[in-house]
């Protein structure tokens, strides 16, 4: 079975500081990995995804994530936080051999202090 663990339900950074949101997954088959962001009163929006190929993937709004198979991790980073980055972030995994079902982590709420 697949699962996702996001370390830290709340992360707080100062504006301009590095953002690091942690995600570890468990999967018996090669996974597809996703990061979604949810702003207040809005739906989940795809930030970036890893399927195959290059392990460092770039997404929208300056975010990127690196797939590390040896560490079963897919951490999300952004070099410099902006106030508008404050939101809830969800890591998700799906199996290449199944349909589009996404399995989500518990989410990390990112706060950005001025």
State the nearest-atom distance from the C-beta of 17 to other proteins, in Å.
Answer: 27
Binding-site residue total for other proteins (CB under 8 A)? 25
Cα distance between residue 99 and residue 58, in whole Å: 24
Residue from the set 12, 45, 61, 84 that interacts with other proteins by CB under 8 A: 45
Which tokens hold the place of 102? 């996404």
DSSP class of residue 96?
T
22 touches other proteins (CB under 8 A)? no
Cα–Cα distance for residue pair 48/36, rounded to 1 Å: 7
Residues that bind other proteins in the complex, under the rule CB under 8 A? 32, 36, 41-46, 49, 51, 90, 92, 94-96, 98-107
């Amino acid at each position: 079975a697949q699962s996702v663990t996001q370390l830290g339900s709340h992360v707080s950074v100062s504006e301009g500081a590095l953002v690091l949101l942690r995600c570890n997954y468990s999967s018996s088959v090669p996974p597809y990995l996703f990061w979604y962001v949810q702003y207040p009163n809005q739906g989940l929006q795809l930030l970036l995804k890893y399927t195959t190929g290059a392990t460092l993937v770039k997404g929208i709004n300056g975010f990127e994530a690196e797939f590390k198979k040896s560490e079963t991790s897919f951490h999300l980073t952004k070099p410099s936080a902006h106030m508008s980055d404050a939101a809830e972030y969800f890591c998700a995994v799906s199996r290449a051999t199944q349909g589009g079902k996404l399995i989500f982590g518990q989410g990390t709420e990112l706060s950005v202090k001025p």
